Amino acid sequence: MPTPINIDLARLDTPATLQKVHFNNAGAALMPEPVLAAVIDHLNLEAQIGGYEAANQEEKRIDGVYDSIAKLIRCHRDEIAVVENATRAWDMAFYSLPFKAGDRILTACNEYASNYIAFMQVAKLRGVKIDVIDNDQHGQIDLDQLKEKIDDQVKLIAITHVPTNGGLVNPAEAVGRIAKEHKITYLLDACQSVGQLDLSVEAIGCDLLSATGRKYLRGPRGTGFLYVRKSILDQLEPPFLDLHAAEWTSRDKYEMRQDARRFENWECNVAAKLGLGTAVDYALTIGLGNIEKRVIELASHLRSALGEIDGVTVQDLGQKKCGIVTFSVAALSAIEVKKLLAVDGINVAASTLSGTRIDMESRGLLDLVRASVHYYNTEEEIIKFCAAVRAIRS
């Protein structure tokens, strides 16, 4: 039996929980003290001995970040690139694909704006076609329609595992089996699933996966990583290279690195990178299975409690739901609800039409309040949260 999470210790490591009800973990979770210390300690070291010298001194710990991330998502360390954020990770993967006119991209209704804008740009510049797969009766990607849409022109399946709104977990493993059967490259945006769900890239079957540090991993902002399956590495050339990603071998030749770090650049925030590694190790110590179980239980409790409040409509989709809970409050915009809750020391986010336009338009929604819980949140905080929502309605 896995050891239960010590909630008291988790909250002791997270002092802000004494002042705030932080239900914005899908935006940026609260860093635990060891992560904060890792960042600050390295910044202090840089100030004391110099940036290059500090990196040299901590070279072993910096290198260990790759081992930690590889353990987190169950891959080889050479398949990991550490970059500035999930969007940079996703973009570096997407723009490395050799699209040509007539190629097709298959995606889901709830794809995030940054990704869809990239689809549209490549469609404009290279004549690629974007096909959006409808939702099934549960509000997740329709697997039968996905299969029907596949032909020889489909070069990429790209979906978001846990969309920014709606609470659902898309069936990433089932999509992976379809992609593998048809030998189609599969790019998964996992920025909101890494850290809250127990993931394996082998089980999912994706070729490329992007993630961030600031959300459920509880790492510092400005950190992220990209997974690149070793078997497709030689098919990809990053949209830009530097002397870290490639070596200048002769006057008019270069050779790219033979690992995923060809998607990195030389200059990076070393302190933040160490913070990311510490956050991953912290999550691994607790256990991703433990984290997933508690997050889903808390979110289910929150969904049920909100559903009992007059004038509140829970808007979540999917057969499997995660730690994101979205809802609407009658006669109030999501921004107004967010501001009113902030007065009571409660943090939430507001998801707007432009973030997931296809999904929101199809449901006739302009915005949603997004409350996202983590394992360090409590049942008592859910009671306080729902009381504050009721007060807004009265």
Q: What is the pLDDT of residue 166?
A: 87
Do 195 and 263 fall into the same domain? yes
Closest CA to 192 of 161, 227, 221: 161
Please indicate, yes or no, whether residues 53 and 124 belong to a single structural domain of this protein. yes
Mean pLDDT on 66-93: 98
Query: In this structure, what CATH number is given to the domain that contains residue 153?
Result: 3.40.640.10
350 three-class SS: strand
pLDDT at 3 over 90: no
pLDDT of residue 1 exceeding 70, the answer is: no
Q: Are residues 116 and 212 both part of a single domain?
A: yes
- Statement to judge: residues 338 and 273 lie in one domain: no
- The half-sphere exposure of 112 on its side-chain side, counting CA atoms within 13 A, is 20
* Residue 2, pLDDT score: 62
Question: Final residue of a domain: which of 240, 261, 285?
Answer: 285
Rounded to the nearest 10°, the torsion over CA 38, 42, 45, 50 is 170
Per 3-state DSSP, the chain is made up of helix, strand and coil in percentages (nearest 5) of 45, 20, 35
Q: Clarify whether residues 123 and 233 are in a common domain.
A: yes
Provide the number of structural domains found in the chain: 2
Taking residues 10-35, report their average pLDDT.
97
pLDDT at 74: 98
Where would I find the beta strands (DSSP E) of the chain?
21-22, 80-83, 104-108, 129-133, 154-160, 185-189, 208-212, 224-228, 246-250, 253-256, 312-314, 324-329, 346-347, 349-352, 367-372
Q: Are 276 and 313 found together in one domain?
A: no
Mean pLDDT of 101-108: 98
Q: Kindly give the interhelix angle for 379-393 and 334-343, rounded to the nearest 10 degrees.
A: 120
* Domain contains 75: yes
Q: What single-letter DSSP state applies at residue 83?
A: E
Of 285, 307, 333, the residue that ends a domain is 285
Residue 1 lies in a domain: no
For the cut 70, the answer to whether the pLDDT of residue 394 exceeds it is yes
Radius of gyration from C-alpha coordinates of the chain: 21
pLDDT, one tens digit per residue, over 119-133 is 999 999 999 999 999
pLDDT tens readout for residues 210-250: 999 999 999 999 999 999 999 999 999 999 999 999 999 99
Domain containing residue 234: 36-285
By C-alpha distance, which of 188, 195, 190, 164 is closest to 316?
164
Residue 134 Rama label (left phi>0; alpha psi -120 to 50; beta): beta
Domain boundary among 245, 263, 285: 285
311 and 209 in one domain? no
Q: What percent of the chain has pLDDT over 70?
A: 99
Is residue 76 within 8 Å of residue 64, measured between CB atoms? no
pTM above 0.85, yes or no: yes
Look at residue 2 and tell me if it is in a domain.
no
Alpha-carbon gap, residue 119 to 139, rounded angstroms: 22
Q: Return the pLDDT at 393.
A: 84
Task: Assess whether 312 and 277 both reside in one domain.
Answer: no
| pLDDT tens digit sequence for 370-379 | 999 999 999 9
